[in-house]
């Protein structure tokens, strides 16, 4: 079992007969330091629903299984392979038990888990992983999580034409940490719930300790008036960009020196310039012709 492992541990392989899935020990150590099991036990209350006991251990089993590649309930049996249990720090729960646990969740219980994510983020950042006074860059996007079967509640066909869900996801650009996530139906438009999602996201990272400038990046699907107005209320670092015009003098001087001192001329592009000897084809390789 994992006990008293150093925060600076790393996994190395110096023998062909290593413990299967030993790399999970790093995630196990982080979870122990953050107190994830006790945090989930205190936040997730299923009442008299089936599978209500020991929610923390069940959440850890699900997280560890997903880190080892599980993408279905049955795949969670990977935690029982070989001596994997020896590095988990807890007894892995059976896939059938985990399925019963998840089927007992309502939207309100999902929000309880969302508070666990917020508190875990706060603990991690206060332990030194946060941006502090530095600029925090956040990427917001949606994706289609494809599913299979005819009894997937909320699954639907969206813009991709595949059956699945269409959640929102916010990640920290420099570390890929998941800062916020919100499940949505498969048919949901990209902008659905975006304003509330941004409000909750910004409040969460501030509470977690982000004290510097926050830059939010998103594609055109999130550029609606309400979201942009809310971001401007929080402070737009480029709001006065028109009051500070730049100059092309340095670029023009570089071009002049390239031409006069190095004999470099403009590149033969766009295609209305005559094609030069030895110049590669100007089309994508898949569209190139052998003529």
pLDDT at 12: 67
For the chain, 291 residues long, give each residue's pLDDT as a single digit of tens.
555 666 666 666 666 555 667 788 889 999 999 999 999 999 999 999 999 999 999 999 999 999 998 988 999 999 888 778 888 888 889 999 999 999 999 888 999 999 999 999 999 999 999 999 999 999 999 999 888 877 788 889 888 888 999 999 999 999 999 999 999 998 988 889 899 999 999 999 999 999 999 999 988 888 888 888 888 888 777 777 888 888 899 999 998 998 888 887 776 555 566 777 887 777 777 777 765
* Confidence (pTM): 0.72
pLDDT at 130: 94
Chain-centre distance for alpha carbon 11: 24
pLDDT at 11: 63
**Residue reference for tokens 């530095």:** 134
Phi-psi region of 96 (alpha: psi -120 to 50; beta: other; left: phi over 0): alpha
pLDDT at 2: 56
Dist CA 61 CA 241 (whole Å) = 50
Dist CA 90 CA 1 (whole Å) = 8
- Which residues lie across from 181 on neighbouring strands? 169
Dist CA 228 CA 236 (whole Å) = 10
Helix (H, G, I), strand (E, B) or coil at 276: coil
pLDDT at 122: 96
Dist CA 273 CA 275 (whole Å) = 6
Dist CA 53 CA 55 (whole Å) = 6
Dist CA 98 CA 95 (whole Å) = 5
pLDDT at 22: 74
pLDDT at 16: 58
pLDDT at 209: 94
Dist CA 26 CA 29 (whole Å) = 5
Write out 160-221 in H/E/C secondary structure.
CCCEEECCEEEEECCCCCEEEEECCCCCCCCCCCHHHHHHHHHHHHHHHCCCCCEEEEECHH
Residues 6+ apart with CB under 8 A from 118: 204, 207, 208
């Amino acid at each position: 079992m994992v006990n008293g492992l150093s925060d600076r541990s790393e996994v190395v392989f110096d023998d062909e007969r290593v413990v299967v899935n030993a790399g999970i020990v790093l995630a196990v150590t982080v979870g122990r330091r953050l107190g994830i099991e006790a945090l989930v036990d205190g936040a997730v209350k299923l009442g008299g629903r089936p599978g209500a006991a020991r929610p923390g251990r069940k959440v850890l089993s699900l997280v560890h299984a997903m880190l080892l590649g599980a993408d279905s309930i049955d795949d969670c049996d990977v935690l029982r392979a070989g001596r994997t249990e020896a590095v988990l720090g807890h007894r892995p729960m059976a896939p059938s038990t985990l399925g019963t646990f998840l089927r007992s969740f309502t939207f309100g219980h999902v929000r309880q888990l969302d508070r666990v994510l917020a508190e875990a983020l706060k603990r991690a950042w206060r332990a030194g992983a946060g941006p502090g006074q530095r600029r925090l860059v956040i990427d917001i996007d949606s994706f289609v999580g494809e599913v299979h079967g005819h009894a997937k509640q909320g699954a639907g066909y969206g813009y991709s034409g595949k059956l699945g869900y269409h959640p929102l996801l916010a990640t920290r650009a420099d570390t890929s940490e998941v800062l916020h996530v919100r499940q949505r139906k498969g048919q949901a438009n990209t902008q659905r719930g975006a304003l509330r999602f941004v409000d909750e996201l910004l409040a969460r990272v501030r509470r977690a300790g982000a004290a510097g400038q926050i830059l939010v990046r998103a594609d055109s699907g999130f550029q609606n008036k309400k979201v942009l107005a809310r971001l401007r209320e929080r402070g737009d670092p480029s709001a006065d960009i028109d009051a500070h015009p730049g100059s092309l003098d340095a670029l023009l001087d570089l071009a002049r020196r390239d031409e006069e001192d190095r004999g470099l001329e403009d590149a033969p592009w766009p295609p209305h310039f005559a094609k030069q000897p030895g110049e590669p084809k100007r089309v994508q390789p898949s569209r190139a012709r052998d003529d």
